[in-house]
């Protein structure tokens, strides 16, 4: 097996499946163990795909647990050892061709799950089909989350739904009544609207002492969009606040931060004028994510601006 061709998340899922089998005193690591491991992984892509399909992942997990309980348990010498079942070995081998069919360079969680659905003969695949999870519906839901992005490295999950992960939608917050009304900043909000409505050079910047209410102006703009108190050019737009802290957090490998920021910018570009990206504490962009010989965030934003 070419484990170097698997993403970090899919490698972790296979290791977690082995641990599940050992803890359950099963001698074979089956497909049910892998499905459970995938569903329990934080920040995986399969759970959001199932939710997009209208399937409750916790129900799938419950049914998977029932299948695991039916697997024979062993005790005594060698009970701590678990081996890949022939079924699972076949799934892992076939997932490589599933990835290449989807023009991906690495095998990710979704390729493993898709291969299980394609196999169809295993008890786990039959259970998933009974719950309304079939190959076509899974692929359609996956496309809405992944878009046209390909798996070109071992950390593809960080690039999916980048805006949802690393930004906060102020327009949604305003719609849900989570934002306080902004009082006494009408002139500034009007000026922001004026700059945003230009055809070119339409990137306003808010400058002021700490605590004077720069972020409140962005919130005020979001409230106006929701209330319809804006020109026709800004109707239906979404104000999204980029959280630079979460963008940098956990980016321990070189190039990881740049990949995340590129994914955010690509998503904003893809939604063609629908997003107004608000970068809070913009001065922290200078030098953010910069390592020796690499670009900092401010230089990456210049072409987009």
Q: How many domains, in total, are found in the chain? A: 2
> DSSP letter at 72?
P
Q: Which residues, given as ranges, of the chain have pLDDT below 50? A: 293-294
pTM exceeding the 0.75 threshold for the entire prediction: no
Nearest to 129 by CA among 63, 192, 189, 65: 63
Do 152 and 171 lie in a common domain?
no
Q: Are residues 58 and 198 in the same domain?
A: no
CATH of the domain at 222: 3.40.50.300
Identify whether residues 145 and 7 lie together within a single domain.
yes
Q: Do residue 171 and residue 118 come from a single domain? A: no
Residue 299's pLDDT is what? 79
Is there a single domain that holds both residue 170 and residue 227? yes
Cα distances from 219 to residues 5, 186, 267, 302, in angstroms, run 45, 12, 22, 24
CATH number assigned to the domain comprising residue 48: 1.10.1780.10
Range of the domain at 283: 162-301
**Shared domain check, 131 and 15:** yes
Of 121, 140, 158, which residue constitutes the final position of a domain? 158
Residues 115 and 190 in one domain: no
The verdict on 52 and 136 lying in the same domain is yes
The candidate with the shortest Cα–Cα distance to 8, out of 256, 243, 247, is 256
- 173 with 294, same domain? yes
Q: Give yes or no: residues 53 and 173 share one domain.
A: no
Q: For residue range 161-199, what is the model confidence (pLDDT) as tens digits?
A: 778 888 899 999 999 999 999 998 999 999 999 999 998
Q: Are residues 151 and 8 in the same domain?
A: yes
Report whether 106 contacts 5 (CB < 8 A): yes
Shared-domain flag, residues 97 and 193 = no
pLDDT for 291 equals: 55
Which of 113, 132, 158 is at the close of a domain?
Answer: 158
Interaxial angle between packed helices 31-39 and 123-130, expressed in degrees from 0 to 180 and rounded to the nearest 10: 50
Q: What is the DSSP letter of 238?
A: E
Q: Is 9 left (phi over 0), alpha (psi -120 to 50) or beta?
A: alpha
pLDDT attached to residue 293: 47
User: Between the CA atoms of 295, 289, 5 and 137, what dihedral angle is there, to the nearest 10 degrees?
Assistant: -110
Domain end among 158, 191, 212: 158
pLDDT of residue 13: 92
CA distance 37 to 22: 13
Say if residues 238 and 275 touch (Cβ distance below 8 Å).
Answer: yes
């Amino acid at each position: 097996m070419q484990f170097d061709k698997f993403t970090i998340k899919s490698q972790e899922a296979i290791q977690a499946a082995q641990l599940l089998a050992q803890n359950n005193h099963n001698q074979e690591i089956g497909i049910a163990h892998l499905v459970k491991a995938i569903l329990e992984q934080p920040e995986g892509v399969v759970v959001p795909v199932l939710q997009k399909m209208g399937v409750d992942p916790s129900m799938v997990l419950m049914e998977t647990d029932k299948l695991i309980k039916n697997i024979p348990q062993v005790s005594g010498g060698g009970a701590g050892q678990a081996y890949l079942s022939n079924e699972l070995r076949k799934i892992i081998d076939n997932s490589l061709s599933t990835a290449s069919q989807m023009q991906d360079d690495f095998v990710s969680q979704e390729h493993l799950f898709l291969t299980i659905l394609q196999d169809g003969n295993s008890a786990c695949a039959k259970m998933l089909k009974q719950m309304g999870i079939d190959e076509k519906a899974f692929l359609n839901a996956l496309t809405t989350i992944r878009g046209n992005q390909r798996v070109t490295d071992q950390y593809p999950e960080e690039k999916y739904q980048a805006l949802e992960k690393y930004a906060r939608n102020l327009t949604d917050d305003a719609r849900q009544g989570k934002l306080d009304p902004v009082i006494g900043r009408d002139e500034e909000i009007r000026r922001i609207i004026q700059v945003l409505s230009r055809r070119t050079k339409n990137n306003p910047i808010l400058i002021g002492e700490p605590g004077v209410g720069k972020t409140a102006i962005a919130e005020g703009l979001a409230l106006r969009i929701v209330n319809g108190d804006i020109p026709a050019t800004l109707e239906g737009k979404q104000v999204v606040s980029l959280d630079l802290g979460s963008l940098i957090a956990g980016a321990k490998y070189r190039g990881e931060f740049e990949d995340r920021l590129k994914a955010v910018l690509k998503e904003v570009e893809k939604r063609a004028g629908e997003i107004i990206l608000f970068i809070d504490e913009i001065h922290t962009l200078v030098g953010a994510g910069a390592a020796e010989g690499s670009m900092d965030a401010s230089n990456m934003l210049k072409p987009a601006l």
